[in-house]
Every structure is written in C-alpha cells, then in structure tokens.
Amino acid sequence: MLQKRRSRWFALSACVCIMVLLITAGCLRKPGKQPSTLTYRLPTTLTVAAGASLPGTDIKYDHMDDEGAHLLIGGQQALKRKGDSLDWAGEPVSGVSVDLKLRIVWYTETELRLAGTVKIKVEDAKPEMKAVTTSSPIKYGGAVVYGLAKDAAIPGTTVTFKGAADEGAELGGISGYPYRKVGDSILWEGKLRDNVYIRLAVRVLQFDEKGLRVGGLVTLWLGS
C-alpha cells in the first residue's frame, strides 16, 4: 500500500512539473544582446557529511544527539531540528552571489539533508561553449524553462532558435546537427566567467514559426 501511494505521489509530482513547465514557458525572449547579469532561482536539495561544511559557506554540520542536529554557523553553535530554517547569503567566488533559503529535512550521525531554494546571480556573464573542467564542490542544479522568439538565445548559452523547418526546430550556436523535434534533447555546456561553469540539459516542449519552448535542468559549478 505504501509503495502504491509513493508511486501515485511521484506520478502526480511529475504531472505537476510538466504542467508548470508548459504554463511558465508562455513568454518569449526577444532577440538581442544577452544580459550581462544572469539570475537563476532554483529548487535545491543538499547533503552535508558530519564534520564537513556546506561548500562555499561558513555552515558546518558538527554532530547530532537526542536534542537535534548541532551546527556551527559562522563559528557560532546552533541547534537545529527537522523543519528548522537554515539560510545563508554570500559571494563564494568573485562576481557571483548566492542566497540560500533552506530547511532541515533529515539528519543522521553521518549526514545532514537540506531542501529549499537557491538564488544565484552571475555578474558580467559571457557564455563560451567549452567542456566543463572543474572539480569544485560548490554545485547547484534545478529546473529551468525558457521561451525563445526567433533569433533569441537561451540565457547563459550560445544556443539560438533560428526558426522552424521540416526537420524540426533549427538551432544556432551549437556543434553538429542543428535540428530538434518535440521531445528531443538539447545539451550544452560551457563557461560563464572565470570559475563559473554551466551545463544545460533541456528538451524541446513546443515550437512553431514564432518561437521555441524548452524545459529541463541546469547545473552550475562555482570555483576551479
């Protein structure tokens, strides 16, 4: 019975996510120069090992006991329990601000689990297609959706929508075969600025002569 309930919950969640993607993709981005400041607002889940710090922050998970989870926040001791808030804001790398709004989901003797949202603002972004070459532990990812008018670019990438053709939606700014049909994937990775890397994995939701709509996941790495 529990397994059936979980399956139904996951199916419902998937349907809701698809509906949200389709609805929020309604506005089309116009062609023109990309904004120099990129802002990502993403749902996020994070896990911190006992004795370790949340990468890029001054939050450390010390240990747990019967009272709850013991953390160090900026060197100060903090007792947290399930459902408690855990926020942080700062600039882990030059030109990038991060604002975390999290809640304690679960903790054990070995790890602390967090869920919430992250707002990432990247200044002076200049997307460049290249392989992601970083081992930075500061990593955030979440769902994104974009609607593009003809000749507009997906923010943070060089990918542009050139128009509709018999072969599918024609893309610019990518290597290899440029056409995608509904349901096809678009993969792109590159660099936004020094020590800021991005990988986009989206699928075509809809396209016509006027525009292209895509939705999927974005991953950002901050640091070398």
Domain boundaries, given as residue ranges, for the chain: 26-36+126-222, 41-122
Q: Highest mean pLDDT range out of 11-25, 30-44, 157-171?
A: 157-171
Rounded Cα gap, residues 114 and 104, in angstroms? 5
Rg from Cα positions in the chain: 20
**pLDDT (average), residues 48-65:** 97
- Going by C-alpha positions, the residue among 96, 99, 85, 84 that lies closest to residue 42 is 99
Q: Which residue has the higher pLDDT, 19 or 62?
A: 62
Written as six digits, the tokens of 44 are: 């996020």
Confidence band, pLDDT 50/70/90 cuts, at residue 21? very low
Rounded Cα gap, residues 72 and 88, in angstroms? 12
Q: What is the pLDDT of residues 72-91, one digit of tens each?
A: 999 999 999 999 999 999 99
Strand 38-49 to 196-207 pairing: unpaired
Rounded Cα gap, residues 210 and 18, in angstroms? 22
- Checking if the pLDDT of 107 tops 80, the result is yes
Confidence band, pLDDT 50/70/90 cuts, at residue 30? confident
**pLDDT (average), residues 14-20:** 45
Q: What is the pLDDT of residues 120-176, one digit of tens each?
A: 999 999 999 999 989 999 999 999 999 999 999 999 999 999 999 999 999 999 999
- The proportion of the chain whose per-residue pLDDT surpasses 70, expressed as a percent, equals 88
